[in-house]
Amino acid sequence: MLGAGLSAKISRAMAALLRRGRRLLRIAPPGSRAPWSELPPDLLLLVLSRLPSHADRVRLRAVCRPWCSAARLQPQPSPFAWLFVRADTFLALPEGALHRMPLDQSEILLRVPDATGNMFFLVHRDGSCYLMMNPPSGEITPLHISSNSLKIDTSCRSYNWIRKVVVSDRIVAVPYSGMVTIFPRMASSPGGARLCWMLPTTFPVAAAHVDIDIALFQGELYVLLTRTHNKRGSYLPELHRLEIDDEHNRFRSVRCIRGMPRNGPGLPALSPTSTPRLNGVSPTCWRSVSYLVACGDRLLMVERHTLVEHLMVHTESATRERSSRPIRTQLEVWEGADLNDGHGHWREVDTLMGHALFISRGCSRSLPAAQCGAREDCVYFVMAERPRFLPGRKREPEEDVLHCVVYNVRHRVIHTLETSEATASPWEPTWFFPADA
């Protein structure tokens, strides 16, 4: 219950807001919109004081011009990340409110966040590419890139070609199909002069069996190579640095960390499963995916290892897999050390030095925990668990399960972050960090 004094103050303030609003409407020209865009600063402060949700403040900024000056005068709540659970719907944490952004899904073939979660990279049905900075406003910025330049098949709706995009003032970098394509932000021609980094010929695995992740760190673009057919995560990923020369439109590739067996000195192996083997086929296996993220002055790698159970079909002639489902997740965090001399290595870390990591397939970001209301030394990880079935068995979107966990790096404990939302979307769930509100 509110105290009598506080209730009276709120009532008087709201009455004043209504009186001023009626006066503004009376002086507004006939047929004009409600004057949110010209809301006086004193009333704007009053509105801001009653918007505890970070998402609501961002929505207000999208329609109100004097927002910035008033927001600086009003104490702000600690913003948290938005979690996109569907194509155009996001969950505002921690309050749990659902919001929608003005996005015409019928015209968008691809929606991918940039690596830091500040904006979206969009591919329209006509092949043009855009950046969306502020989802509530729906405003987009065209890029000098076309889907033809990306060499992707826009008629294919598997949405597996591009999962992350790195955007800086200088470049747009897009990893897919065992390569990284780099476009300048300011291009002299509509197609844009692009650079293409290919998988090194010395890498022991074909491009079809390599998972690529990228991140900006200290102004340079880093590329992480993980073997997808990696039995029980037996190999640590390989790391390369791309030193891009804008003036001459070229780059130099430097291998910073060589992929090496996990069972080498000081590198612990994953815990083996004790599940018995059936007809020579193990009903469980590990699947590993790695994510790069800059954290202060450190370049970190988050590894996700998922123990997958294979549901088998037994016949008189053979045993084959019917479907599979994840049954356990294990996370590890590593730091790339000695990256400048070409003889770097991975070392496991047990502290994030007061930061929190937000990891998804399309976004990997580090923030001071106190700044965003998160827990210190924790990894907030989100993905869609998608069951696998035999060919011919169609997977329905509602069968996808939104999987959110919080991993404490210091104590090595995983907790589930409840969201009670299914994904029901062709696109991966992702974190998103709106501009300060």
pLDDT tens digits, residue range 70-115? 444 444 555 567 787 766 777 777 666 777 777 777 777 778 888 8
For the chain, domain boundaries:
18-25+33-77, 82-432
Please answer whether residues 145 and 172 qualify as being in contact, where contact means their C-beta atoms are separated by less than 8 angstroms. yes
- The DSSP code sequence of 8-41 is HHHHHHHHHHHHHHHHHHHHSPTTPPPGGGG--H
pTM for the model stands at 0.75
Query: Per residue in 153-179, pLDDT tens?
Result: 666 554 456 788 999 888 899 988 788
pLDDT of residue 288: 81
Torsion sign, CA atoms 13, 17, 20, 23 = negative
pLDDT digits (tens, 9 = 90+) for 238-269: 999 999 887 767 888 899 999 887 765 444 44
Q: How far is Cα 388 from Cα 204, in angstroms, rounded to an integer?
A: 28
